[in-house]
Amino acid sequence: MTMRRGRWWAAGLLVTGIWTSTPAAWAQGAPGKPATPDKGAAAPATPTPAPSPADADKESVRLFEDAKKAHKAFQWDKARDAALAAFKLKPDPAYGLILGQSELQTGKPRDAAEHLELFVREAKSATSIEKQAAQKLLDEAKGKLGTLVIHANVEGADVVVDGRAVGRTPLAAPVFVDPGSHEIEVKKFGFDPGKELLAVAPATESEMEFALAPLAAEPDKPEPEKKPKEEPKPPPLPSPKWRTYGMIGGAGLTVIGLGLGVGLTMMANSKSDEADQQLMILRQTTPTTSGLCGAGGFVPNAAGCAKLKDTLSSQDAAANGAIAGYVIGGVAAIGTLGLFLLPRTPLGRKLMGVNVVPVLGAGQTGGMVVGSF
């Protein structure tokens, strides 16, 4: 037998030998078995109702008696299962000693520490020997764990460790965690939550203080200012015919002028390329001792020089025509834009009330301007 087994055997003997001093419930035998239902009775159509508090207490006592028997036989798994079932039916702190020792023996030090700490703190009927045994086991469990002592500046705040709720402030007991990294959060409605990430080593105790600040109250929203009623805008003046005709004519003239400019520009570029080609041919056929064209030019180049001259003249005419087309198109575009924006200026709005009326009569033809300025 190893030293570890001998140690636990001694602890088991210590707990086994003190049953006579435990509460009266520990000394009670298991209650009688419930009456066997009549075989001829029909199965209930609804789920079995939850046991009454008295029945739950009796079943809890019976399960704990089973736990004590398994504990005496060093059947730790069986003792833990029975003690845990009893504790769930009736969370009696007196169950914590056997439950905690069984959990420690089955490799669950965190659960053991929680139940042993509860026994030491709240099992009022336990003897001093039992408390000493529980404290010794608790110290051993804490040697494998980290202990967190968590405080907050507000009461009733939820304490959550790694997503598991462990209680509300002020906590009655420390929180036991396995070694490693843990996230601790303290939160309460109406306060900014506090959160910390803590690396915990075995056999260490960390005290944590959380100061929750109340959330700032939302400022009262000012009432929106009432906008004064806007007077309805007067209906727009009808567009005079001369403005309409001017815009149509100006748009058409713009298209024509720009189209003429683009077309003549393309022609001028073509003539320029043609003149460059003709000049290159003349240079290739002219001896170096003679000029290309003119009075001292190479005589056989006379026809080519005349053709080059016509080409250059056509290029200049096309270029000048393109400039004229762009000017006409630009002026027409500006005029059309001016007519379009006419109602947006004070002077333009006055001119909108002016109409030109044709006058046709005996011996006279013309027009008359009618309106107000």
Last residue of a domain, one of 90, 121, 144: 144
- Residues 120, 184, single domain; the answer is no
Residue found by looking up tokens 């929203």 in the block: 221
Last residue of a domain, one of 104, 127, 144: 144
Q: Phi then psi for 12, rounded to 5 degrees?
A: -65, -40
Last residue of a domain, one of 144, 168, 185: 144
pLDDT tens-place string over residues 91-131: 999 999 999 999 999 999 999 999 999 999 999 989 999 99
Highest mean pLDDT among 3-7, 176-180, 291-295: 176-180
Structural domain including 101 reads: 1-30+53-144
pLDDT tens-place string over residues 243-301: 677 778 878 888 898 888 889 899 989 989 988 888 888 777 777 767 777 777 767 77
Q: Which residues of 184-199 are buried (b: 16+ CB within 10 A; e: fewer)?
A: bbbbbeebeebeeeee
- Residues 107, 16, single domain; the answer is yes
- Residues 77, 5, single domain; the answer is yes
pLDDT tens-place string over residues 129-175: 999 999 999 999 999 999 999 999 999 999 999 999 999 999 999 99
Is residue 338 within a helix (H) or strand (E), and if so which, with residue range? Answer: helix 302-340
pLDDT tens-place string over residues 214-257: 998 777 677 777 777 777 776 665 666 666 777 788 788 888 98
Let me know if residue 37 belongs to a domain. Answer: no
- Three-class HEC string of 70-96: HHHCCCHHHHHHHHHHHHHHCCCHHHH
Gap between the Cα atoms of 240 and 237, Å rounded? 9
Gap between the Cα atoms of 34 and 58, Å rounded? 11
Let me know if residue 367 belongs to a domain. Answer: no
- Residues 352, 265, single domain; the answer is yes
**How many domains does one find in the chain?**
3
Gap between the Cα atoms of 175 and 166, Å rounded? 7
Helical spans, DSSP H, in 90-214 = 96-105, 109-122, 128-142
- Residues 136, 249, single domain; the answer is no
Let me know if residue 368 belongs to a domain. Answer: no
Tokens representing 363 are: 């011996």
pLDDT of res. 99: 95
Q: Lowest mean pLDDT: which of 130-144, 332-346, 354-368? A: 354-368
